[in-house]
Structure 1
Amino acid sequence: MDLPYAKERLIAELAVQRAALLTKKVLREIDKGTISKSDKSPVTIADFAAQALLICAIHHNFPDDKFVGEEAADTLREDVELQKRVWDLVSGSYLDDRETNALLSTPVSSEQMLGIIDLGCGPGGRTGRVWMLDPVDGTAAFMRGQQYAVSLALVEDGHEVIGVVGCPNLILENGEIHEDRVDEEGYGMMLSAVRGQGSSVRRIASGGLEAARKIERPLDVVGVKELHWVEGTASASNDIDKQWKLAKSLGISWPGTDLYSSQMRYIALAVGGGSINVTIPKKKDKISWVWDHAGGHLILKESGGLVTDLNGKEFDFGAGRYLGENYGRVVAPMSVREEVMASVVQVLGE
C-alpha cells in the first residue's frame, strides 16, 4: 500500500527537478554569454518560466487544487519580447526520461503559459489544498551564481503536508553549506518531506529521480556555545544589529553560515549545517510571504528541527499569501530552547 501523499510527492519532486534544471540552464547561458547579465532579465526569465512549469505539472495531475505563487503574468503581456524568451525556455524544457516526463505537462502555447502563471495569484486560505511555490528564492544570489532554491509545498486545510526544495547549486560537504561553493558540473541537490514521514535528500538528475537518503537528525547540543548560527546578513528587512547582539549574549560566533536565500537557510538547518537561527524583523508589521517559508519549513521540522515565531507560535500557513499571524522566527534545539527564548525576550525588550 502506498504511503499517504505518495503521488503528490512524486509529482512535486519531478516538477521541482524539471524547474531546477531550467534555472540551471539559464545560469549556464549567462556563463557562456548567450544571455546578458547587464540587467535583471535572466532571473526574470527564470522566475516566470519555472513558475509556469511547476504549476503546469501540478495542475495537470491535480486540477482542483489551488496555488499561491510569487509571479503574475502582467509583465509578460506588456513585454512581448520578454514573453517570447520565457516561452522559448518553457517549451523546450523536458526531463530526459520520456516515461517520467510524460507524468508532467507543458503548456501548448504562449497564451496558455500566461494563464498557468496567473493561477499562482490565488489568495490561499484555511480550507482545501493549496500549493505554495517560489520559482527562484534568492534572486540576487541567483544572479551572482550563489545558492538559491526552487520551492514547492502542498498546504492542506492550512497545514503543510508536502515540502520539496530544489537547490541547483548545492554541494553538501559534511552537512555544511557555503554560499560560494557551488555545483558547477552537476545539478545540485533536492530535499523533500511529507508530514509524519521524515525528510530525505537526493541529487538532482536530468531524467528520473535518483535514489534518496533519509536526513538523520543531528545530535542535540549540550549547551548554547555548541550552537552554529545560520544568518542572512544581506536582509534589508531584518534587524541585523539585534540578531548580532543576541548571538553575542549567548556566546555564539556570528554570523556563522551566511546565506541570502530564506529557503536555503531552512535547508542548512535541516542538514546540520547550522543549529540556530533567530530572525527579528525591523518592523512588527513586516510582511513575510508564505513562499519564503513553505517547503523548507516542513523539511526542517521533519528532519527534527524545532521552529516557531518569536512569540513561540507555530507558523500559520492558512493565513493567506503572507504569515500575517506570525512575527519573526526562532530555530533552536529543545535542549537549549528555554535559554535561547529568554535571551530573545531580553534583546527584544532593549
Structure 2
Amino acid sequence: MSLASKDLKIAVKAVRFASEATKFVNSPSAIIKSDSSPVTIADYASQIVIMSILQENGNADFIAEEDDKGLSNDTLEKVEDVVKKVLPNFKPNSVKEVLRRNVCTSNSQFWTIDPIDGTKGYLRGDQYAICLAKIFDGKVQVAAMCCPNLDGGIIFFAERDRGAYQMKIDEEDISAAERIYCHPRETEASVLCESYESPHSSHSDSGNLRKDLNISKDSIRMDSQCKYGLVANGKANIFFRRATKENYYEKIWDHAAGALIVQEAGGIVSHLNGDPLVFTNGPLLNNGSGILATSDDSLHSKIVQYFKEKQVNKA
C-alpha cells in the first residue's frame, strides 16, 4: 500500500505494540468487572499502550472499553510492569492517569479502542483481537485490527475509500501489505462465522439460518472481531451477531474496526434489519437488532429479509 495516511500508520503501529503487551502477561487470569464481564492485566496494558501512542501523536479524544474503576494497587503495579516492557519511557504510577484520559469531548471525531476483543478467547489461548478505529462524523475512517493467534499473527487494516489490507504481525513495512477482497459464493456454499460463546450470540439462530438457507458447510466458531477479518479476506462469507438479551445495544468498539475492513474489502455490514451502523451515540451503536456482515449485497439482502420474516412470524 502506498501513501498511507499518518493516522493509518499510527493505528497499525499502536495495535502491533499493544499485541506485544498481551504476550508479556504470564498465565493470564480474569478479574471480574461490575458488569460480570472478565478483564485482564493485558486488557489494561494494551489500552494504555494504544492511548499513549495516540497521545504522542496529538490525539486526545477516546471512547475505549476499559477505565480505572476498581483497580487494586497490586493490579496497577502489574499493568505498569507490562507497559514498561513495551514503552520503556512510560512514567511510573501513570496507569490511572492514562486510563482517566478515556474521555470524548467531541462526537464528531474520536478514536474507539477495544484493547482485547475476545478476552475469554485470550484466556483460553485462542483467538482475540486488538481493535482500533477513528470515527469522523459518525463514520469509521481508519481501522486497524491485530489478531495475534490467527494464521501465525495478522494485522488487518483499512482506510475509507482506499481498500482493505492484511500483513504479517512481524512485518513493519505497511507498503508491503497484501490487499484483500471478500469472496462471494453461492448461498449454499457460504461459510458462516459465529461467536464462540453462546451468550454473545445465539448458536440456535446460526443453526436455523444454515438449515433454512441450505448452507452445508460447518460454521467457524471463534471469539472477537477476527470473524470480520475472515469475511474480508475471503475465508468466510457471513458473520452475524444477534443479542441473547432483550434491549441490548452493541458497543462501538466491538464492531467499528472490523466493519470498515469488511466494507473496504467489498463486503456489506449493517444491523440485522438492514439499517446502517451509525457511530454518533457515544459508546452504543444506534440499533438493537444485531449485526450482519457478508461478502456481497445479494447474500446480505437475503439474510436481512430472512430475519425480517422471522421477526414477523414471531410477532
Structure 1 contact 319–325 (Cα < 8 Å) conserved: no
Match in the other structure for 1:90: 83
User: Which of 227, 231, 246 is equivalent to 2:209?
Assistant: 246
Q: Quote the Cα distance in structure 2 between the aligned partners of 1:168 and 1:71.
A: 20
Equivalent-residue separation in structure 1 for 2:22 and 2:216 (angstroms): 34
User: Deviation of residue 242 (structure 1)?
Assistant: 2.7
Shift of residue 255 of structure 1?
5.1
- Give distance in 2, aligned partners of 1:38 and 1:59: 29
Instruction: Please give the residue correspondences for 1:7-46 in structure 2 after superposition, counting only pairs within 5 Å.
Output: 7-26=6-25, 29-30=26-27, 37=28, 40=31, 44-46=40-42
Q: Between the two proteins, what is the percent identity of the paired residues?
A: 28
**Secondary structure at the counterpart of residue 74 of structure 1:** coil
Note the alpha carbon deviations across 1:71-122, whole angstroms, 9 max, x for none: 111233xx1111111111111214xxxxxxxxxx9532223x3221122243
Written as runs of structure 1 = structure 2, the 5 A alignment for 1:31-110 is 37=28, 40=31, 44-63=40-59, 65-76=60-71, 79-94=72-87, 107-110=90-93
Post-superposition offset of 1:124: 6.5
1:317 aligns with 2:310: no
- TM-fit CA distance, 1:39: 5.1
Give the Cα–Cα distance (whole angstroms) in 2 for the partners of residues 326 and 38 of structure 1. 31
- The reply to whether residue 117 of structure 1 matches residue 99 of structure 2 is yes
- Measure the CA separation in 2 of the matches of 1:48 and 1:106: 17
Q: Deviations over 1:6-63 (max 9, x none)?
A: 111111111111001111222xx33xxxxxx565499511011111110111111124
**1:229 paired residue among 167, 189, 192:** 192
Label 1:157 to 1:286 Cα distance change in 2 as closer, same or farther (>3 A): same
The answer to whether the aligner puts 1:280 opposite 2:276 as a matched pair is: no
Offset, 1:281: 2.0
Q: After superposition, where does 1:304-343 map in structure 2 within 5 Å?
A: 304-332=266-294, 333-343=296-306
Output the CA distance in 2 between the equivalents of 1:9 and 1:276.
Answer: 26
Letter paired with 1:194: E
SS of 1:325's partner is: coil
Q: Indicate the larger mover: 209-218 or 134-143.
A: 209-218
- Shift of residue 148, structure 1, vs aligned partner: 0.3
Shift of 1:326: 4.6
**Residue matched to 2:232:** 270
Query: Is the 1:235–1:260 Cα contact (8 Å) retained in structure 2?
Result: no
AA aligned to 1:16 is V
1:108-187 pair list within 5 angstroms: 108-111=91-94, 113-122=95-104, 125=107, 127=108, 129-171=109-151, 183=152
RMSD: 2.4
Q: Tell me which protein shows more strand as a share of its residues.
A: 2
Residues in 2 aligned to 1:286 and 1:326: alpha-carbon distance in whole angstroms: 6
1:284 is displaced (CA, Å) by 4.4
Gaps of 5+ in 2: 33-37
Gaps of 5+ in 1: 31-36, 95-104, 172-182
Cα shift at 1:208: 6.2
Match of 2:130, SS state, is: strand
Work out the CA distance in 1 between the residues paired with 2:231 and 2:171. 27
DSSP 3-state at the match of 2:45: helix
* Structure 1 residues 54 and 189: CA distance shift in structure 2, 3 A: same
Residues 134-184 of structure 1, C-alpha deviation per residue, up to 9 Å, x if partnerless?
11110111011001000100001211000000011110xxxxxxxxxxx3x
SS at match of 1:86: helix
Deviation at 1:235, TM superposition (A): 3.2
**Counterparts of 1:44 and 1:116 in 2: how far apart (Å)?**
17
Secondary structure, in 3 states, of the residue corresponding to 2:132? Answer: strand
User: Partner letter of residue 46 of structure 2?
Assistant: A
Residue type of the alignment partner of 2:255: H
Match of 1:215 among 139, 161, 180: 180
